[in-house]
Amino acid sequence: MRRSSGFFFLVFTAVMISSLVRAEEVRSLPLGLEDVSRLAVQNSLAIQIAEYDARIAKAGAKGARSLFDAYLTADVNIRENGKARTSTVYGTDSQENNYDVGLSKKLPSGTSVDVDATNARDWTNLPTLTHETTLGVTIEQEMGRNFFGRADRLLVRIADIQSEIAGFFSWRKIEAELALVQKAYWTLVFERARSGVEEEMVRQSEALYKAQKEKRTTGLSEDGDVLAAEANHLARLNESALAKENETSAQTNLSYLLNLDANAPVIIPAETLSLDDAAWNETEILQAAFQMRQDYQALLKDVEALGLVLVKSRDAMLPTIDLKASFFRNGLGDHFKKAWDETASDTQEEFFLGLSVKVPIENTAARSEKEKAELEKAQAILRLKQMERLIILEVHDQVRACRVYQEVARSAQKTADLQAEKLATEEKKFSYGRSSIDTIIRYQDDVLGSRLSAAGAVLRYRSALVDLALTEGGLLEKYYEAGEPFSQKRGGGP
């Protein structure tokens, strides 16, 4: 995972220092879009939660390999029998001690291996050999529906693919969360620009109001003009206060998405609502989307997994055929060591070779699973085709939207410039007494509306660019290593 360590050290230091100073002291931290995006990937709770989805699925997939775990078994039992007996041929008192230890493991080839060592002590009050030691190995090979372990290996592979699918969907969730953060950042840029425009209009309305009051003292202005200028100034103050409140709300929303506490520095956007001359090749974007869209890759993997499920269900209709072989040696003695030494000789051996076959007659469950697997795979293929059509449509729509919003924003900026020029011309006429206060106020409203409209158009364009990157699937490439988005664990994670 590629992280900007120097940047995060700066943020961490700023946050730590902020906790040591008074809360009422306002601090600021200029951040660009890239900085905010990296901070979100590192610190956002929503992104961390999405990362855990993938890691949980990966941890669960490991359980499928438990098929091949080795097991150590031990068994001890003691029995002492002094009950009255109808015959004393075998003694009147007996004691049986059995000790058994074994090691078993199933291999990916479908071979089960069991190694056992036992010692049985059978004592009576008659002179007999009391210890029997046995050492043996048993090998069982599955040959039918789990032909040389193919069904087991398919289970493991299916679990791994499902883990990959969870990782793809987690990546997509993180992309969506990052898109929210970037849009929230641009909203903050817009609200700051709006506050700036409103503050400028407050200054203009204040200057107009003061000028009208001075003119009134010299008789060059009517009372109605002064009242109109004052009302206009109060309206501008109200709009400016509302703009500040909206800016504060945007700041709060961004801080929430970034998981910053109340003592963190106030984020000051380093970006401005500016336009670029970007151009888009729809064909290239579409090709990139099919390669990078994680939800599309997840559906491809889903088809692959269901194909393996279908293969497994077809194999389940075959007979169960097990080949079994075992080899044992034993030894007898009046104590453990002698019996064990006897076991080491090669004259007391037992070989066994067997074959068991179980043929299903009706095979209802296997047929049902096979039919279900075929239907699920067909459904998955249709979902994949649906996603392909959706990606084509989304790319086409987003590219068109970016082009339209870019042109609209250019036109809106030009309109704002023309409105400002119109106001300047009218103010010049007003200074010569050739215009009215109502006209000036109306023209100020036109300037305000056009500037806010231009800022809103640029915001809409910037949001469309974020949506386009999300549609293409490349929003996270700068912040995660491709192909392994969750390789690094966070502190306190599993």
pLDDT one-digit tens code per residue, 321-336? 999 999 888 877 777 7
- Under 8 Å between Cβ of 395 and 285: yes
Q: What does the alpha-carbon distance between residue 285 and residue 391 come to, in Å, rounded to a whole number?
A: 10
Question: According to the model, what pLDDT value does residue 476 have?
Answer: 86
Q: What is the pLDDT of residues 135-176, one digit of tens each?
A: 889 999 998 888 998 999 999 999 999 999 999 999 999 999
For the segment 43-56, the average pLDDT, to the nearest whole number, is 90
Could you tell me the CATH number of the domain that includes residue 167?
A: 1.20.1600.10
With 60 as the cut, is the pLDDT of residue 16 above it?
no
Paired tokens of 131? 């210890």
Residue 179 has pLDDT above 90, yes or no: yes
Residue 347: the pLDDT is: 65
Question: Which has the closest alpha carbon to 38: 74, 6, 70, 85?
Answer: 6
Residue with the bigger pLDDT between 277 and 396: it is 396
Q: How far is residue 309's CA from residue 157's CA, in Å, rounded to a whole number?
A: 10
Kindly report, residue by residue over 198-220, the tens digit of the pLDDT. Answer: 999 999 889 888 888 887 777 76
Per the model's pLDDT, the better-predicted residue between 97 and 109 turns out to be 109
| Contact yes or no for 464/275 (Cβ under 8 A) | no
Task: Write down the pLDDT at residue 86.
Answer: 55
Helix (H, G, I), strand (E, B) or coil at 31: strand
Give the pairing of strands 28-31 and 266-269.
parallel
Phi-psi bin for 363: left (phi > 0), alpha (psi -120 to 50), beta? left
> Does residue 288 sit in the same domain as residue 395?
yes
Q: How confident is the model at residue 92, as a pLDDT?
A: 58
Residue 181 and residue 102 share a domain: no
395 and 433 in a common domain:
yes
Q: What is the rounded average pLDDT of the residues 243-265?
A: 90
**Both tokens of residue 277?**
């001359």
Token pair of 182 as six digits: 């970037």
Residue 100 carries which DSSP code? Answer: E
**Does the structure show a pLDDT above 90 at 223?**
no
Q: Which amino acid is at 210?
A: K
In a domain, 128, yes or no: yes
Note whether 472 and 292 are within 8 A (CB): yes
- 379 and 468 part of one domain: yes
**119-129 mean pLDDT:** 68
481 assigned to some structural domain: no
Is the same domain home to 328 and 216? no
Locate 471 and state its tokens: 């549609």
Q: Are residues 328 and 293 in the same domain?
A: no
- The 10s digit of each residue's pLDDT in 296-307 is 999 999 999 999
Question: What's the pLDDT score for residue 29?
Answer: 83
Residue type (1 letter), 194: R
The verdict on 289 and 334 lying in the same domain is no
Q: Does 486 fall in a domain?
A: no
As beta bridge partners, residue 96 has 79, 122
Angle between helices 150-217 and 45-61 (to 10 degrees): 180
Mean pLDDT of 2-15: 44
Q: Name the domain count of the chain.
A: 2
Mean pLDDT score of the chain: 84
In this prediction, residues 106-135 reach a mean pLDDT of: 81
Averaged over 457-464, what is the pLDDT? 95
CB 451 within 8 A of CB 417: no
Let me know if residue 367 belongs to a domain.
Answer: no
Q: Is 296 helix (H, G, I), strand (E, B) or coil?
A: helix
Positive or negative, the CA dihedral 310, 316, 321, 327 is positive
Torsion angle of C-alpha atoms 482, 487, 490, 492, degrees rounded to 10: 160
**C-alpha distances in angstroms, 231 versus 35, 91, 205, 238?**
43, 121, 9, 11
pLDDT (average), residues 229-251 = 92
CA 174 to the chain's CA centroid: 5
Using an 8 Å Cβ cutoff, are 110 and 285 in contact?
no
- pLDDT of 276-321, one tens digit each? 988 999 999 999 999 999 999 999 999 999 999 999 999 889 999 9
pLDDT higher for 91 or 341? 341
Amino acid at residue number 192: R
pLDDT band at 438 (very low <50, low <70, confident <90, very high): confident
283 in any annotated domain: yes
Mean per-residue pLDDT for 89-105?
77
Same domain? For 177 and 278 the reply is: yes
From CA 479, how far away is CA 3, in angstroms rounded? Answer: 6
Threshold 0.85, pTM exceeds: no
Question: Is residue 245 located within the same domain as residue 196?
Answer: yes
Q: Where are the alpha helices (DSSP H) in 293-363?
A: 294-315, 336-343
Q: pLDDT band for position 338 (50/70/90)?
A: confident
In whole angstroms, what is the distance from residue 408 CA to residue 280 CA? 16
The pLDDT of residue 4 is above 50: no
Q: Do 417 and 287 belong to one domain?
A: yes
C-alpha to C-alpha distance for 22 and 298, rounded to whole angstroms: 49
Cα–Cα dist 328/72, whole Å: 19
8 Å CB contact between 232 and 441: yes
The encoded tokens of residue 152 equal 């087991």
Residue 365 lies in a domain: no
pLDDT tens readout for residues 364-386: 988 999 999 999 999 999 999 99
Per the domain annotation, does 363 fall within a domain? Answer: no
Please report the pLDDT score of residue 178 as a whole number. Answer: 94
The separation between CA 415 and the C-alpha centre of its own chain, rounded to angstroms, equals: 44
Q: What percentage of the chain has pLDDT greater than the value 90?
A: 52
User: Residues 88-94: what's their mean pLDDT?
Assistant: 57
Sign, Cα dihedral of 153, 154, 157, 163: negative
pLDDT surpasses 60 at 251: yes
Q: For 79-99, what is the mean pLDDT? A: 65
pLDDT, tens digit, for every residue of 400-423?
A: 999 999 999 999 999 999 999 998
59 and 167: one domain? yes
A 10 A CB-CB count for 344 gives 11
Q: How many residues does the chain have?
A: 494
On whether both 333 and 409 belong to a single domain, the answer is no
pLDDT at 94: 65
- Please give the DSSP secondary-structure letter assigned to residue 271: -
CB 329 within 8 A of CB 343: yes
What is the amino acid identity at position 404?
V
Chain Cα centroid distance, residue 474: 15
Which residues fall within 8 angstroms of residue 386, CB to CB, at 6 or more apart? none
What is the average per-residue pLDDT within 91-103? 78
Domain coverage including residue 274: 5-63+157-304+374-472
- 9-13, 259-263, 289-293: which is most confident: 289-293
Q: Work out the widest C-alpha separation in the chain, in whole angstroms.
A: 143
User: Residue 457: which region, alpha, beta or left (left: phi > 0; alpha: psi -120 to 50)?
Assistant: alpha
Q: Are 140 and 323 in contact (CB under 8 A)?
A: yes
Extract the tokens encoding 19.
């906790």
**Residue 477 belongs to some domain of the structure:** no
Which residue spans within 147-303 are E strands per DSSP? Answer: 266-269
